[in-house]
Amino acid sequence: MTEQRWLQTFAAARPNGGPTQARLVCLPHAGGSPSFFRDWPQHLDPRIETVAVCYPGRQERFGDPVITDMHDMSQRLAAVLAPLGDRPLWLFGHSMGAAIGYEAARVLWNTYGVHPAGLFVSGIAPPHRIEKGDVHLQGDDAIVADVLDMGAAESALLAEPEFRELLLPAFRADYQLIESYRPTDTPPLDIPLTAYYGTADEDAATWIDEWARYSVRSTVTMPFPGGHFYLQDAAPQLLADLSHRILAGTQGEG
């Protein structure tokens, strides 16, 4: 699969046409798409390039076979991201995307020798706390109910019959991927790790501090008001923090 089909770049006007200092790769939640991050350049420092991942089976990739296995997803994604390592490369993932980001970071280093500058995880407990689930084995109504309960604005399309049949295969694939995910017993990463979460998101907040075991470097946890999709309302504050951490890390200040 070509890089162009996996990645979408959202450009922001850079002051004086200055160069990109870092890249932020954004990995969507289950059922999510690159459009979730479309407005992020409005709040990120313009020196940071925003690149969003498009998993198979959505948007321009509706015809591509979906991926239901974490190992397959992380291997294929890392192969696409490796050429982006010519600039400081930061990974941000929300919910399922955070687990994919963690696994892809491991593959980038172990297979391609690309050392991500840092990993941001959002709205998810650490890998060893992710419980095996069976929602993907249940009927369509169970998946739709669970998705709508999470509160993603874009998921409201599932309530529309004309979109439901089109979108459900990607949601089911993503649920299977994360519900069957079991992390391998490997050494922790050697990169800074920041874990964001909504204070009302019990699934993440209960275990968020345990992300510290996944990096030998500094690990920061940061709460925001709200539930699982706290970042829909807190985007300006979240992205201000991301900008600070990325530029400080890129310039060797943190």
Please tell me the distance from the alpha carbon of residue 176 to that of residue 211, in angstroms, as a whole number.
Answer: 23
C-alpha distances in angstroms, 21 versus 4, 49, 86? 21, 8, 10
Instruction: Say how many C-beta atoms besides its own lie within 10 A of residue 154's C-beta.
Output: 17
94 flagged as catalytic: no
Catalytic-labelled residue, pool 29, 94, 136, 228 = 228
C-alpha distances in angstroms, 103 versus 17, 115, 220? 34, 13, 19
Angle, in degrees to the nearest 10, between helices 96-112 and 161-179:
50
Cα–Cα–Cα angle for 124, 203, 232, nearest 5°? 60
228 flagged as catalytic: yes
Q: Give the residue among 26, 96, 29, 114 at the shortest CA–CA distance from 105.
A: 114
Catalytic-labelled residue, pool 33, 95, 155, 243 = 95
Residue ranges of alpha helices (H) inside the chain are 3-6, 70-81, 96-112, 140-150, 161-179, 202-205, 235-250
Given a contact cutoff of 8 angstroms between Cβ atoms, the answer to whether 59 and 53 are in contact is no
Residues 6 or more apart whose CB falls under 8 angstroms from that of 185 comprise none
- The SS3 call for residue 108 is helix
Q: Which tokens hold the place of 128?
A: 């060893």
Catalytic residue ranges = 95, 228
